[in-house]
Amino acid sequence: MLQIKNRETAKLSPLIVSALLATTLTACGGSSGGGSEQSSSSSESSSSESSSSEESSSSSSSEDNTDGAFSIDPDFQLYALADFPVGVAVSAAGESYSIFNHSDATQRQNVITEHFSELTAGNIMKMSYLHPQEDTFTFGDADELVGFADTNGMTVHGHALVWHSGYQVPGFMENYEGDFAAMLSDHVKGIVNHFESEFPGTVASWDVVNEAVDQGGENGFRQSLFYNELPPASEGDIPEYIRVAFQAARDTGAEIDLYYNDYDNTANDVRLAKTLEIADGLAEGDLIDGVGFQMHVYMTYPSLNDFENAFQEVVDRGLKVKVTELDVAVVNPYGGNAPDELEYDAALAGEQKQRFCDIARVYLETVPAELRGGFTVWGLTDDESWLMNQFRNATGADYDDVWPLLFNADLSAKPALQGVADAFQGNACNSDI
Ligand code: XIL
């Protein structure tokens, strides 16, 4: 059983709260609906519906920045309100927004240690970053990140041991001529064992396999490199590579939770069923501890009932539920929002606060304490979100900002942070800001 690391013993730095300019904004807001949850690998777009609402901004006790963001001055540490990991995805090494060398790195670290108890590497713990060549593992950048977590009494959710996405598949795995299963097994063990021996207990869980479902693919599984090498052993089975990867992680003997992680598997029944099929196949051999729901979602899609239903399915199986990559874009390009249609006004900031609160509330209400694997947002500040790129790639239009996270570009906390805190404290969700 995993324990949340004791933050009391950790070195915590005080939050630097920035003073904000007070101005008044009046603008039209809109909420989004329709579309599928996104993944970097998703080219699917589901039926989209447009919706827009016209609301003038309400008067507000919050202040807004010059760039139209709204902020609060939190009187809480978010992670301290929860008895499960509260995580944030971060950039590291030489990446943009690296918590080690971005221009605001120190302040960024302070906000992260103030409000979160777990880190996920947004990129630098993916396959090729850690294992570029068969006989070469490169752990330096990841060690800096995991070491930072360790020093600050935080855990790390490892992401991801096996993922099809081309930019991070090690070249040597393509056209591999040896025993693919043995190679994959060594890949998994080499990585898991490294962190376990260097930072015992800090990397507390792993996405062992990410995004194996593809409803367009043959039998609902993604026809990835891994699938092609190690397909289902017989009809009706899950792909063999999934089993090999989880078995290898289990065989390390490390006390870590093993997750299967995927996207668009709450509202999408076909993708949810496939996710559960994978979980069931692995559970037979006691190879899985939980299911990760990425949850790159929108203001009105998926519905709260969809989240509840999906979480419940996993809970019914006695597996943990982890929200692994939450962001709530207020703009939905698949729901008809053009890039310049929305302004992030007070009404929208309040609605987003309520949306974050409702999602966290459903998580707490549906998942019993012992099965709560954690609640992680995919990035710290709105300006670093991957979604603007993602939406640009998908639609060709430029989305300067879609305001999907809990902190403003200047590191001030958004009302959305209060929304999550409200849910964690058992308070009613509301859109007041
Ligand atoms: C994204 C990163 O945030 C981007 O920086 C990168 O360019 C592509 O990958 N699902 C996942 C994550 O599991 O690994 C993806 O992260 C977002 C979608």
Instruction: Please give the Cα distance from 144 to 106 (Å, whole number).
Output: 15
Residue 18 covered by a domain: yes
The set of catalytic residues is: 211, 325
Q: How far is the CA of 386 from the centre of ligand 1 (A)?
A: 7
What are the tokens at 403? Answer: 């305001």
Tell me how many domains the chain contains. Answer: 1
Mean pLDDT of 332-360: 92
- In the structure, what pLDDT confidence band is assigned to residue 131 with cuts at 50, 70 and 90? very high
In a domain, 2, yes or no: no
Which domain covers residue 354, as residue numbers? 7-424
Could you tell me if the CB of 128 is within 6 A of ligand 1? no
Pocket test for ligand 1, best of 36, 262, 386, 391 (most atoms within 8 A of CB): 386
| pTM: predicted TM-score of the whole model, two decimal places | 0.89
Handedness of CA 199, 79, 249, 207 (dihedral sign): negative
| CA nearest neighbour of 377 among 16, 119, 82, 203 | 119
Residue 163 lies in a domain: yes
Residue 236 pairs in a beta bridge with none
pLDDT tens, 207-248? 999 999 999 878 999 999 999 999 999 999 999 999 999 999
Rounded CA separation 79/117 (Å): 6
> Does residue 370 lie within any of the structural domains?
yes
Determine contact, residues 38/377, Cβ cutoff 8 Å: no
pLDDT in tens, 358-407: 999 999 999 999 999 999 999 999 999 999 999 999 999 999 999 999 99
Judge whether 210 lies within some domain: yes
Task: Please check whether residue 25 lies inside any domain of the structure.
Answer: yes
Residue 213 to residue 162: CA distance in whole angstroms = 13
Q: How far apart are CA 232 and CA 221, in angstroms?
A: 10
Contacts 24+ apart (CB under 8 A), 304-307: 304/358, 304/359, 304/362, 306/266, 306/267, 307/266, 307/359, 307/362, 307/363, 307/366
Q: Which amino acid is at 285?
A: G
Atom 7 in ligand 1: which residue has the minimum CA distance?
Answer: 386
Site to probe by mutation for ligand 1, drawn from 40, 326, 391 as the one with most ligand atoms within 8 Å of Cβ, is 40
CATH of the domain at 172: 3.20.20.80
Query: Kindly report the CA angle at 265 between 260 and 326, in degrees rounded to 5?
Result: 80
The answer, yes or no, to whether any atom of ligand 1 lies below 6 A from the CB of 202, is: no
Nearest C-alpha to atom 11 of ligand 1 is from which residue? 39
Asked if the structure places residue 432 within a domain, the reply is no
Q: In this structure, is residue 403 part of a structural domain?
A: yes
